Structure 1
Amino acid sequence: MPDGTQIGRAVVIGAGVAGLTAARVLADHVETVTVIERDTLPSGPAPRPGVPQAHHVHALLALGAEVLEGHFPELRAELEQAGAPVWDWGERLFAALPGGTPAPLRMGLPIQTFSRPLLEHVLRGRVTELKPVTVMDGLTVTSLRTAGPGRVTGVRVTGDDGEEEIAADLVVDASGRSSHLPRWLVGLGLPSPRATVVDARIGYASRTYTYPEERSRPSWMGLLQPLRAPDFPKGCYAIQIEDNALHVTLHGAGGTRLPRDEDEFLAYARTLRSPIGDTIASLTPASPIRRYARTFNSRTAYHRLPRWPHGLIALGDAVCAFNPAYGQGMTVAALEARLLDRTLRRRGALLDGHGFQRALARVTAFPWLMATVPDRAWERSGTAWAVKSANWFMNRLIDTVPHDPRTYTTFSQLFHMTGSPLALADPRLLSRVLAPSRPGGTLRTPTP
């Protein structure tokens, strides 16, 4: 059996952000790319059933935006033309942290905010324009097509016209949290891959608002009030997006009851320490209240399987899915597409799938820790000493942010994945974080 698979035809399962970015990369290396999507795809920027989280606030971190721009030149400009604002994270974010709110600070971290449907619509338009790419929607992949247990040769699909087989030299599973790959691998005689799940039982309730003509905008472009176990089970995210809209997500951890109607939504917002309650009280609701609770972190250890079929890889949420509260999913998907591109360029359209899964596990390792360390603090069972220590340090770091501009900048760079994790070991940072605790900070109160 050869070490790699020569790729002429590729099939990508899923037309979400991970699938579209993978298809964009593959179009530079193979003859044909077929993207298969279960949903009937909308013609415009609209939510769809396969992405229920699209109704909630999304964040594309600074590194993710940079990587996507490399694959989709002028993406930022196209999104801005569609109404997505660009702003500096340090200057225009109102961060209601447990220890106070940092003063505005220009960081040179440009952020662009938009709805998930707008981003998918723009990416989908770019990908469908590529000559090697065909997007087929309304089809469900039911199984892998194989030539013996060691090689995947395509997929079997079903749709309105019945069943068919689509041949491929490479199948990319980018089907997200609903992936059936573990079951398919067992059917090929491989052991069931180990999955790790960390669930803080966080739920979301979201809606969008528009500004009346006479209403001035808030001084902030984004508002953040994070959760923190065990004392801060309520929080929110709010961002200004396209179409003159404010997108608001209220969230609660540990089973906190979330609002179901308009009165409850406003009442919940007014229990928060941020100005979000006063802000939305004078705005016009532009959507129903949408709730979402499938926010657990999950990581499937494909890289630890003893064998791996040729002609197959998996990426995106199909491998490692994050609590959306940390905004890492789309950025990690972009990084995984970059890894695929670099691997194909290095190997000349030969792909060792098992090696790719091991490299992908290294890409997801630090984002996984950043998401699961705070989420494990909500678990009712005993938490390991190492996790408790890491969570204690991260809390001290965040409590230093409102009082120390350097720490604020360093933490923001880590959050946006533009800074190295090694910055956490910098003696200057450690001296500020581990200094005696300061008195609790006070929230600044911008224009609501």
Structure 2
Amino acid sequence: MSYHTSAIVIGGGIGGLAAASAALRHFDQVTLVDKDDLASKIASETILEARRCPAIVLWESYEEARALTQSTKKRRSGVPHYTQPHILLAGGSRALERLLPGFTKELCSRGARSYDAGKGLFVYDFGAPFQRGIDAGVEVFAASRRLINEVCQDVVLEQGKDRLILREKTKVAGLFWERPSSQPESYNVTNRVRGVQGVILNSGEKLRADLVIVSNGRTSQLPSWLKEVGLEVPPQLKVDSQMNYASRWMRLPEDFDPEKEFYSALVNARPAMARGGVALVLEDNLLQISMNGFEGERTTIWML
């Protein structure tokens, strides 16, 4: 009788989905556990109608912008940067394509913008605009985080079919460890813990697996789980740039042509000017504008 191998992935974000895809190549069964309903949507960013060209619109007042509210996009909870700008760089897109064959094709078929970084990107830095129209040979993809997440999820679900088990709206309380039979579970001498046997859910249910991958981002309790059994926690380095940002979505005019205008525009912050901004042309004829500040320089949605 052949041995049935299994893996558990904690977290259903892009990292967790990529991990699940990799695990499917090596295990008979993969269980993906996430605290959210992966198909759920909650109220999110407001879309405004851009009535002027070029696309970057300076509204006369916040009241004018608010009066132009047209609709509300949706997002899944648990993804803190869902409403912020995203560009899938060449290295990231190639890595995801290797893990998820057909990912980039599916992303573009759903409206993601693909362009050469040397031609479609407008950059203003060091007091002047960079030269444009250069064929850099570097393809980048502009899409909302919502679309990137959805395509990743759909491709992985198709890969898994009958071998991927989803445990949605399920929280993991901790790990359970391999120990000598004579060792009480509360005994936490490091060299007596031989490995992880699985996860313990909040309900008390235990899920066993040959491999457990913790990929639930900033909500991860892995450091405390390691401390509980006396294992050393890897050192952490925190770099606080005191960065903050605010973003807004707009619907572009039908006659807007990104080939003539831009696919993305970037104004970099510098020590003498601690504010910057970015504008991205995305799927569904959407424009996303974000302003950022560093070192305590505050930027708010009122600026947009």
TM-score relative to the length of structure 2: 0.79
Unmatched segments (≥5 aa) in structure 1: 1-5, 266-448
C-alpha displacement at 1:101, in angstroms?
A: 1.8
C-alpha displacement at 1:92, in angstroms?
A: 1.0
The letter for the 1-side match of 2:200 is R
- Secondary structure of 1:223's partner? strand
Aligned to 2:194: 150
2:157 paired with 1:128: yes
Tell me if structure 1 keeps the 8 A contact 2:174–2:201. Answer: yes
- Secondary structure of 1:108's partner? coil
The letter for the 2-side match of 1:224 is L
Structure 1 residues 216 and 92: alpha-carbon distance in aligned structure 2, compared to 1, 3 A threshold: closer
Aligned to 2:34: 37
| Percent identity of paired positions between Structure 1 and Structure 2 | 33
Aligned to 1:292: none
2:113 paired with 1:85: yes
C-alpha displacement at 1:139, in angstroms?
A: 0.8
The letter for the 2-side match of 1:256 is E
Tell me if structure 1 keeps the 8 A contact 2:247–2:301. Answer: no
Aligned to 1:391: none
Tell me if structure 1 keeps the 8 A contact 2:278–2:290. Answer: yes
Structure 1 residues 256 and 163: alpha-carbon distance in aligned structure 2, compared to 1, 3 A threshold: same
Aligned to 2:139: 110
**1:108-149 deviations in whole A, cap 9, x for unaligned?**
111111011111111111112213211211111110011222
Match of 2:266 among 204, 219, 224: 224
Aligned to 1:408: none
**1:284-326 deviations in whole A, cap 9, x for unaligned?**
xxxxxxxxxxxxxxxxxxxxxxxxxxxxxxxxxxxxxxxxxxx
Match of 2:238 among 197, 201, 211: 197
Structure 1 residues 248 and 110: alpha-carbon distance in aligned structure 2, compared to 1, 3 A threshold: same
Inter-partner Cα distance in structure 2 for 1:94 and 1:7: 53
Give runs of aligned pairs for residues 12-411 of structure 1, distance below 5 A: 12-42=9-39, 46-104=74-132, 105-129=134-158, 130=160, 131-148=162-179, 149-158=193-202, 162-213=203-254, 217=258, 219-228=261-270, 230-261=271-302, 264-265=303-304
Structure that is richer in strand per residue = 2
Q: Number of residue pairs matched?
A: 254
Tell me if structure 1 keeps the 8 A contact 2:199–2:206. Answer: yes
Tell me if structure 2 keeps the 8 A contact 1:7–1:170. Answer: no
C-alpha displacement at 1:74, in angstroms?
A: 2.1
C-alpha displacement at 1:99, in angstroms?
A: 4.3
Aligned to 2:65: none
Structure 1 residues 175 and 219: alpha-carbon distance in aligned structure 2, compared to 1, 3 A threshold: same
C-alpha displacement at 1:41, in angstroms?
A: 1.3
Structure 1 residues 7 and 209: alpha-carbon distance in aligned structure 2, compared to 1, 3 A threshold: farther
- Secondary structure of 1:257's partner? coil
**1:189-215 deviations in whole A, cap 9, x for unaligned?**
113332110010101101111013355
C-alpha displacement at 1:84, in angstroms?
A: 0.6
Inter-partner Cα distance in structure 1 for 2:104 and 2:232: 43
Tell me if structure 1 keeps the 8 A contact 2:100–2:156. Answer: no
Inter-partner Cα distance in structure 1 for 2:78 and 2:4: 28
Inter-partner Cα distance in structure 2 for 1:216 and 1:70: 32
TM-score relative to the length of structure 1: 0.54
Inter-partner Cα distance in structure 1 for 2:78 and 2:207: 22
The letter for the 1-side match of 2:137 is G
